[in-house]
Amino acid sequence: MAIEVRDVNKSFGTTPVLRDVSLDVAAGSLTALLGPSGGGKSTLLRVIAGLERPDTGTVRISGVDATRLSPQRRNVGFVFQHYAAFKHLSVFRNVAFGLEIRKRPKDEIRKRVMELLELVHLEKLADRYPSQLSGGQRQRMALARALAVEPQVLLLDEPFGALDAQVRKELRTWLRRLHDEVHVTTVFVTHDQEEAIEVADTIVVLAGGEVVQAGSPGEVYDNPANPFVMRFLGPVTEIGGSLVRPHDVEISPDPVEGGAPAVISRVVRLGFEVRVEVEIGGHEAWVQVTREQADRLGLGPGDTVHVRPAPGARSLALAV
Amino acid sequence: MAKHVLRVVAVVYVLFLLVLPVGLIIWRTFGDGLGPFTEALTSPSALHAFKVTLTVAGWAVLANTVFGVGAALLLVRHEFPGKRLLGAFIDLPMAVSPVVVGLALILVYGRFSPFGGLLESWGIQVIFSTPGMVLATVFVSLPLVVRAVVPVLEELGDEQEQAAHTLGASRLQTFVRITLPGIRWALGYGVVLCLARSLGEYGAVAVVSGRLVDQTQTLTLFVEERFQNFDQPAAFAAATALALIAVVTLLLTKLLRPKDRIDGN
Ligand SMILES: Nc1ncnc2c1ncn2[C@@H]1O[C@H](COP(=O)(O)OP(=O)(O)OP(=O)(O)O)[C@@H](O)[C@H]1O
Ligand SMILES: [Mg+2]
């Protein structure tokens, strides 16, 4: 294991922020820490980096107990949400910082920094200052700076949080490719479930300071540990007292076994998908169907249909 | 109409308070050409006063720069009991009259106080000599560096410092390579202000120095003393020199004003 966190507790004042958090991160993996705002994701990441000291519990990095080590000695790369660029240093000097601290020879530094700048596509901007870069470029510079010291693990706090949607998507795929190239164990924080599912090979859901579930994206999406995780990872709707994904609901004009009668209140066409809003026995639900399906069934407002969770689909019974 | 009245009032105000007195000093100084001016300023007493002023101001600025940066870091980056008290104490010299400062120093370090007596028995004389004048000047200009640096440190935040730590930098390396460059303009501004205040200090230094001519006489004390002794050319020449220094520092502070150069690229 590259990172082993055991029974970590951390409070700020009297507010507990992490409660008995345990976490294993496999060497070479790309793990997402996913959870709602205030769930303790940043705090956990900072505990791993040594920027925050846990009240109890241990952190091991590459098998070595790092709980009492200062961040200076942990050899982790940390990328801050707002980049923490060294404003008075050029892009080159930013990336070279860790190597200069380690007193590497000048030409070795030059070679390594240029390699890294190429990796993050900033080789042409080496002499610029951070204030002359776009947000995405700064983020990539911060990444190169963290990678320069060959860290044992790379920790990214909401790496794309401050960027607009378009750049976010580009950087996401880019991060995935970069990881496949560099293979450094990486943990990144996000509160965007789509980002976690798309990029990570393991997702750890953290809420209220506790690890709620950990597993591959498929596992967490298909086998959520509780209604909270199910809601957090994708769209849900409530049918017959269970929580179901709207695309896992069957809709038919005739009564079916286990089905419930429903009245269509609205049909919304969103390109390829069609969102059918229905009323079942006084409460609202919705079903996602394809356009082709909607046309075939001739669905329209006021029609009565029958809905049921698709056989074999995962659903979670809600405690009543 | 009201605008015109206001403008006239402002002009008259500045004229009588600033332009007229300073102009007259300069006119009286250079009235008989440059000769008497240089002559008055190169007399042994004047040169000695220059030297004392520079020594005292130099030590005071050094002390307040080190203390100022340290205190600013403490106030912005650390939580500790008594933090607000420290903040209040740092601003105290703004409120206390320099004469009171001088008297207080004499009470503590004077020959007849226990502490001053002890120092005296070790051969260290504080009052009526340079250490006392440095202390007085340090006290009077204490808040200037701190107050210049604190807002910039706050604005800078600590993420860059944390990033430097994770990249393997020690506390000292982080301070020298990250924090100091981040605050350099503000620090320069604070140091220049502190220097100006130190050069011009009169009240506290007057009390603790004992005004010993050719020994503890600073330039401001020299002006006073010459004037009392009806040596107006020397008094005016030294006053003009002080005014010129003030103008230079004023220009420097304009160049260094932190809010214009916050990131210093
Ligand atoms: N230095 C601190 N002092 C006091 N409370 C803090 C501190 N840092 C974090 N907290 C509190 O700890 C809780 C968890 O914070 P944390 O930053 O870890 O959440 P997060 O999951 O990263 O949230 P977000 O997605 O909004 O960044 C929050 O309630 C926050 O207010
Ligand atoms: Mg956070």
Query: What residue ranges do the domains of chain B occupy?
Result: 40-260
Q: How many of the other CB atoms lie within 10 Å of CB of A271?
A: 6
Interval between CA B142 and ligand 1 midpoint (Å): 37
B264/A contact by beta carbon, under 8 A = yes
pLDDT tens digits, one per residue of B83-136: 999 999 999 988 899 999 999 999 999 888 888 888 888 988 888 999 999 999
Q: Which band of pLDDT confidence, cut at 50, 70 and 90, is reported for residue B258?
A: low
Q: State the nearest Cα–Cα gap between B173 and chain A, in angstroms.
A: 8
Residue of B nearest to A149 (CA): B167
Q: How many of the other CB atoms lie within 10 Å of CB of B219?
A: 26
Across the interface, whether the CB atoms of A84 and B160 are under 8 A apart is answered yes
Across the interface, whether the CB atoms of B170 and A88 are under 8 A apart is answered no
Residues of chain A with pLDDT > 90, as a percent, come to 64
Distances (CA, A) of A29 to A3, A71, A201, A202: 10, 22, 7, 8
Name, in order, each residue with C-beta under 8 angstroms of B238's C-beta and a sequence gap of 6 or more: B40, B41, B46, B49, B219, B222, B223, B226
What is the residue-averaged pLDDT of chain A?
A: 91
Q: What is the rounded distance in angstroms from the CA atom of residue A273 to the CA atom of residue A271?
A: 6
A86/B contact by beta carbon, under 8 A = yes
Question: Tokens 């943990």 sit at which residue?
Answer: A187
Q: What is the rounded distance in angstroms from the CA atom of residue B239 to the CA atom of residue A130?
A: 47
Which whole number is the average pLDDT over A193-204?
93
Task: Name the nearest CA neighbour of B198 among B55, B46, B41.
Answer: B55
Q: Is B82 helix (H, G, I), strand (E, B) or coil?
A: coil
Task: Name the nearest CA neighbour of A63 among A7, A5, A2, A8.
Answer: A2
Residue A4 DSSP class: E
Q: Which of A8, A33, A42 to mutate to test the pocket of ligand 1 (most atoms within 8 A of CB)?
A: A42
pLDDT tens digits, one per residue of A14-27: 999 999 999 999 99
> Which residues on A lie below 8 Å from B162 (Cβ)?
51, 71, 78, 80, 84
Q: What is the rounded distance in angstroms from the CA atom of residue A9 to the CA atom of residue B261?
A: 42
pLDDT tens digits, one per residue of B34-72: 888 888 888 999 999 999 999 999 999 999 999 999 999
Task: Name the nearest CA neighbour of A319 among A232, A215, A226.
Answer: A226
Nearest listed ligand to the Cα of residue A41:
1
Across the interface, whether the CB atoms of A72 and B166 are under 8 A apart is answered yes
Q: State the nearest Cα–Cα gap between B85 and chain A, in angstroms.
A: 22
Domains of chain A are 3-228 (3.40.50.300), 235-317 (2.40.50.140)
Cβ atoms A138, A83 nearer than 8 A: yes
B265/A contact by beta carbon, under 8 A = yes
Across the interface, whether the CB atoms of A84 and B159 are under 8 A apart is answered yes
Residue A128 has pLDDT above 70, yes or no: yes
Distances (CA, A) of B242 to A154, B19, B201: 58, 16, 11
Q: Is A74 helix (H, G, I), strand (E, B) or coil?
A: helix
Residue A115's identity, in one-letter code, is E
pLDDT tens digits, one per residue of A163-192: 788 888 888 888 898 898 888 999 999 988
Residue B265 has pLDDT above 60, yes or no: no
Residue B227 has pLDDT above 80, yes or no: yes
* pLDDT reported for residue B263: 46
Task: Name the nearest CA neighbour of A245 among A256, A257, A230, A261.
Answer: A230
N-terminal to C-terminal alpha carbon distance within chain B: 46
Distances (CA, A) of B119 to A156, B51, B113, B115, B127: 58, 25, 10, 6, 11
Count how many pairs of residues, chain A against chain B, have C-beta atoms within 8 Å: 67
The pTM for the full model equals 0.85
Atom of ligand 1 nearest to the CA of A40: 18
A49/B contact by beta carbon, under 8 A = yes
Atom of ligand 1 nearest to the CA of A41: 21
Q: State the nearest Cα–Cα gap between B156 and chain A, in angstroms.
A: 10
Distances (CA, A) of B241 to B41, B46, B236: 9, 11, 9
Across the interface, whether the CB atoms of B165 and A145 are under 8 A apart is answered no
Which whole number is the average pLDDT over B10-14?
91
Residues of chain B with pLDDT > 90, as a percent, come to 60
Q: Which band of pLDDT confidence, cut at 50, 70 and 90, is reported for residue B259?
A: low
Q: What is the rounded distance in angstroms from the CA atom of residue A64 to the CA atom of residue B91?
A: 48
Distances (CA, A) of A79 to A46, A60, A143, A158: 11, 20, 6, 9
The CATH superfamily holding the domain B40-260 is MetI-like (1.10.3720.10)
